[in-house]
Amino acid sequence: MKITCQSPVNIAVIKYWGKENVELNLPTNGSISVTLSMEHIKTITCVESNEQIKQDSLVLNGELVEIPGRMKLVIDKMRNIAIRCGNRQIKYKSESPLESPADPRHFITIKSRNTFPTAAGLASSASGYSCLVYCLSLLYHLDAYLTRTELSEFARLGSGSSCRSLFPGLVEWHLGDSSSTSVADSICDSWEDLDILVCIVKSEKKKVGSTVGMQQTVKSSALFKHRVEGMPAKLETMKRAIIAKDFETFANLTMADSNQFHAVCLDTFPPIIYLNEDSRWFIEFVHEYNRMAGETAVAYTFDAGPNPVLYMRSKYTGDVVRLLKQLVDVTKFKSIRDFNECVTIVN
C-alpha cells in the first residue's frame, strides 16, 4: 500500500521565533504565513506500508538516513491514533485513494525529496513534515476522523512551521494554550492581485538551525520579550488587513516584522546573523522602489537565511522582475503567481 503526496513551503509574514515548550514545539507567539504554489518549490513524499517491510526507513533526497527522533514521534503518534480509530465515529469521507486503511502495526518506507536546497532558509522542514503527515493520514484514513486543523497538530510536533503548509493561501498558526489548540487554520485562501517572487541569492546551508537559534534567543534577548508582548495586537492588525485585502498595511507589517525578527536575532547572544550584503541590497531596493512608485508596491521578508521573498501588487511584477534582472546577480528568481495550493495527493 502506497501513497504519494506533495506539499508546498510557506513563508511567514508574522514570524514564529521562540518556543514555550521545546519538546512539543509550542511557540511563544502565533504566526501568519502565505502558502506558496508548488510549481517550483515543494517536497514530494511517498510512504509505503506492507508486511514484508522489516523496519521503518527514510530515504531523503536519494540517501538512506536515520529517522530523526521527532519524525519517529510523529509516526508513532499517528499510528497510535490509527489503532484507536476503530472505536471512533467516522466524521468525514476519507480523501485517500486507498480503499481500505493500511495496518498501522506494519513498518513503513518513507521516500522524500525536495525540489529546492534543503536547510537554505526556505523552510524545507515545513513542506517535509506537512507532506509526511498528510501521507500518513491518508495511509491510515485518519482524515475520516480528524479535521485538517486537528491533523496540523502532528505536523507542528515534527516542525512548528509545517502546520501552516496544510492550508492554502493565508494561514494562521494559533498560539493556543495546549498541544491540541496550538494548530493552524485558513484566514483566506486567495488574494488575486498579490504576487510573490522568491529570489535565491545563496543556497549554502544556514549557519544556525532554527531550533537552536530560537532557544538562544529566548535565553538571551531582551528585545525578544518586547517582540512577544507586541504580538497579539500585531497579529490582529495583520488578520484584519488580509481579510480587507489592504496591501499597504499587509506590506508594511510584513517588512516591519521581518526587520524586528532579524533585530532579535542580532540581539541574541552570541548573535545570529542570517542576512548578508545581498539581503541588505534588497531591503534598500524595495524602499527606494516604493518611494519612486509613490505607494507601497512591494514588500520583502527574510526567514532564517539571506534569500528575499518579495510580495507585490501584481501590476508591478513585470517591472520589478525586469529591474532586478538588470541590477542584481541572483542565482534564481521564482515568480509565484498562483499560491492557492496546499498539500495534496499525487497518487
Find the shortest distance in angstroms from Cβ 234 to ligand 2P0. 13
Q: At what angle do helices 69-84 and 124-139 cross, to 10 degrees?
A: 20
Q: How far is the CB of 16 from ligand 2P0 (least distance, A)?
A: 3
Nearest residue to ligand 2P0, using CB?
160
Residues at the interface with ligand 2P0 (CB under 6 A): 12, 15-17, 25, 31, 123, 125, 159-161, 210-211, 303-304
Minimum CB distance to ligand 2P0, residue 126 (Å): 6
Cα dihedral 313, 319, 323, 329 in deg (nearest 10): 60
Query: Is 200:310 a contact under the CB 8 Å cutoff?
Result: no
Q: Supply the minimum distance, in Å, between the C-beta of residue 202 and ligand 2P0.
A: 16
Q: Report d(CA 114, CA 236) in Å as an integer.
A: 33
The residue (of 42 and 313) whose beta carbon lies closer to ligand 2P0 is: 42
User: For residue 199, what is its C-alpha cell?
Assistant: 529570489
Taking each helix axis from N to C terminus, what angle separates 148-158 and 124-139, rounded to the nearest 10 degrees?
A: 130
Cβ nearer to ligand 2P0, comparing 10 with 296: 10
Is the CB of 172 or the CB of 195 nearer to ligand 2P0? 172
Minimum CB separation of residue 302 from ligand 2P0 in Å reads 8
Give whichever of 37 and 94 is closer to ligand 2P0, judged by the CB atom.
Answer: 37
Nearest 5°: the CA angle 214, 343, 90 is 105
Please identify, using beta-carbon distances, which residue of 101 and 158 lies nearer to ligand 2P0.
Answer: 158
Q: Given the complex with ligand 2P0, which of 211 and 252 has the nearer CB atom?
A: 211
Minimum separation from the CB atom of position 325 to ligand 2P0 (A) = 27
Please name the residues in contact with 72: beta carbons below 8 A apart, sequence gap of 6 or more: 56
Return d(Cα 65, Cα 332) in angstroms, integer: 29
User: At closest approach, how far in Å is the CB of 25 from ligand 2P0?
Assistant: 5
* Cβ distance to ligand 2P0 smaller for residue 123 or 342: 123
Q: Is 9:37 a contact under the CB 8 Å cutoff? A: no
Judged by beta carbon, residue 20 or residue 39, the one nearer ligand 2P0 is: 20
**Nearest distance from residue 28's CB to ligand 2P0, in Å?**
12
Give the whole-angstrom CA distance, residue 285 versus residue 263.
Answer: 19
Nearer to ligand 2P0, 3 or 110 (CB): 110
72-76 long-range contacts, CB within 8 A, separation 24+:
73/157, 73/158, 74/129, 74/132, 74/133, 74/136, 74/154, 74/155, 74/157, 74/158, 75/108, 75/132, 75/136
CB of 50 to ligand 2P0, least distance (A): 30
What are the CA-CA distances from residue 148 to residues 37, 166, 186, 242 (Å)? 19, 7, 10, 21
